[in-house]
Amino acid sequence: MNALTALHTLHAKNVTSFNGIEVPDQYSDLDKEYKALRHNVALSDYSHYTKLKIEGDEAFDVLDIAVAGDVAEIRDEQTLYTVLLDEAGNIISDVYIMNDDDTYIVLSEHIDDETLLTLFKERMGEFDDVEFTSLTHSHAIIAMEGPYSWELAKEIYGMDVIGIPFLGFIALEEDVFLLRAGKHGEFSYKVILPNEEAEALWNEIEEKGERYELVKAGLALHKLTRLENPYFSPSGNGSVSRDPRELQLQWMVRYDKDEFYGREKLLEKREQNLAKKVVGVVLEQGGDAHTINSGDAVIYNGETIGKIVSCGYSPSLNKVIAQAILDNTYAYAGIDAYTVKSSDGTEHKIKTTATPFVNNHSMLINPNENSFVNPDKFRNMIEQLEAQQAQKLAEEEKASA
Amino acid sequence: MQEALKNTIDERNAVLEEVKTVLIERLNLYQEPQDIDEDTPLFGSGLKLDSVDATEVVVMLDMSFGIKVEEGTDPSFMRNINQLVDFILERKRATEAGSEAGSEADSEADSEADSEADSELTQATAAA
């Protein structure tokens, strides 16, 4: 159960259990939820995230050894997105680490409360001035996500929202935060708050979100959005490799840090030639979500050079997209010489490509200039630019007349 | 591997390596080239560049690759290393295609000039 389970049970299409917490898997219609996330605002319950507060004089030291990223990089109200490695240098999970005035809040989507706590305790070494408090079952996470989520969040929390940078947050009260972070390339604001306040906020967002054409969404949606904007996923790219180099996730690792769990083996691997690597793939012609499947072979000149890791149909691109793990010799973007052999034996031409696959709509929106609800403002920078050009042209014509 | 694919990969690899090396030098990044994956984001997460660094990337394109980024160019080419390399390769191909077209145009212009000269020469010869 979580704070909103009763509400979701009444209204959501499917509710699923994640890390022992019930959250909506699908609220209404996946296409509707997708469109809201990519073009307007989606409202989601992320309470399944494990939330661990770590404080004490040695909290920094424990965290800095426990994770592969550089915790010293984050100042107050900043968040580090990094990975926890095992001893062999393989990724266990991605984590967010929020620095709230040297008290840290760790958020993890893929590992439960008990496992996360055990991982940190195993890595404490001689440090003991550390206190762990789980917020997982006492706190909910409600997310406003999509190109105009900043505007809705601003209505609720004020102008400060506009100033929150990516991976920044505001501490609203003790253990209540507004965090800007997401894994789909659109604006995304997560409110971490006590369970008893969750339902009132959910209802307020739903009510105020109406004029943004807000749609309530579940987690199933993100199987597709995270394929379009790849992140670490245990059931996706993580199912074929946990090596940061093979997954192209070395940016989540700080090699020059003196010490972190898994560093030694990772540095050994770094000296070896890379055997395979995950790349983005687009089906050149037609197809639907079932044309190719995970495990299908990638072929070059009759030889198997890799396989499909995860795939789906991207509504934004109107194309079948996939991640494939290829022999490193062939693992480059911009190649159209390969095919994918589907289970019925048909070979489909593909092109390898840079990821993320999509140019997110949020990239076209400047919160200081655009608005979804203010008729005096343009909705995005393209509309704004076109209007400016039309005005310039009209002025030139007038002057020459 | 067939020659055509090998050439395509070699060309891309050469640009990838140069982009990584130049970015490390110009922006004082701590990474070694092999630590920067091709799909690494440049801004936000990834290399965590900022708007000042974006200007450096534009200068880098000019200094190292002779590419001038015009005002109004869709900035999505700066999203990650691979997209930056795609942009460089596209511009390179456009320049090469332009040069070839230019050569053909030059060649046609030369032919026309030659014909005119021939014609003038013919007339002059006839007049003589």
Instruction: Please give the pLDDT value at position B74.
Output: 87
- All residues of chain A having their beta carbon less than 8 Å from the beta carbon of residue B39 are 230, 248, 279-280, 333, 354-355
Q: Mean pLDDT, to the nearest integer, of A6-17?
A: 93
Cα–Cα distance measured from residue A379 to residue A367, given in angstroms and rounded to the nearest whole number: 10
A251: nearest CB among B4, B47, B76: B47
Q: Are A181 and A96 in contact (CB under 8 A)?
A: yes
Residue A203 has pLDDT above 90, yes or no: yes
- All residues of chain B having their beta carbon less than 8 Å from the beta carbon of residue A258 are none
Q: What contacts A146, CB < 8 A, 6 or more positions away?
A: A36, A37, A38, A39, A40, A41, A42, A186, A187, A188, A362
Interchain proximity A167–B37, CB inside 8 Å: no
Instruction: Please give the pLDDT value at position B126.
Output: 35
Interchain proximity A251–B38, CB inside 8 Å: no
ipTM, 2 decimals?
0.90
- With H, G, I as helix, E, B as strand and everything else as coil, classify residue B71: coil
- All residues of chain B having their beta carbon less than 8 Å from the beta carbon of residue A280 are 39
- Cβ-Cβ pairs closer than 8 A, A with B, add up to 79
Q: Which residues of chain B have pLDDT under 70?
A: 102-128
Q: Are A20 and A81 in contact (CB under 8 A)?
A: no
Percent of chain A residues topping a pLDDT of 70: 100
Instruction: Please give the pLDDT value at position B107.
Output: 59
pLDDT tens column, A234-276: 999 999 999 999 999 999 999 999 999 999 999 999 999 999 9
Residues within 8 A of B (CB atoms), A 335-394 only: 335, 337, 353-356, 359, 363, 385
**Is A166 part of the contact surface with chain B (CB cutoff 8 Å)?**
yes
Interface of B with A (CB under 8 A): 1-2, 4-5, 8-9, 12-13, 30-32, 34-41, 44-47, 72, 76, 79-80, 82-83, 85-86, 89
CA dihedral angle for residue A223, residue A228, residue A229, residue A232, rounded to 10 degrees: 40
Structure tokens at A258: 């003196």
pLDDT tens column, A34-91: 999 999 999 999 999 999 999 999 999 999 999 999 999 999 999 999 999 999 999 9
Instruction: Please give the pLDDT value at position B13.
Output: 96
Instruction: Please give the pLDDT value at position A289.
Output: 87
Cα of A140 vs its chain's centroid, Å: 18
Instruction: Please give the pLDDT value at position A52.
Output: 97
Residue with tokens 């009759």: A302
Q: Mean pLDDT, to the nearest integer, of A168-194?
A: 97
pLDDT tens column, A366-381: 999 999 999 999 999 9
Instruction: Please give the pLDDT value at position B101.
Output: 72
Chain A residue with minimum CA distance to B43:
A166
Alpha helix segments (H runs only) across A30-74? 30-39, 59-66
Chain B residue with minimum CA distance to A332:
B9
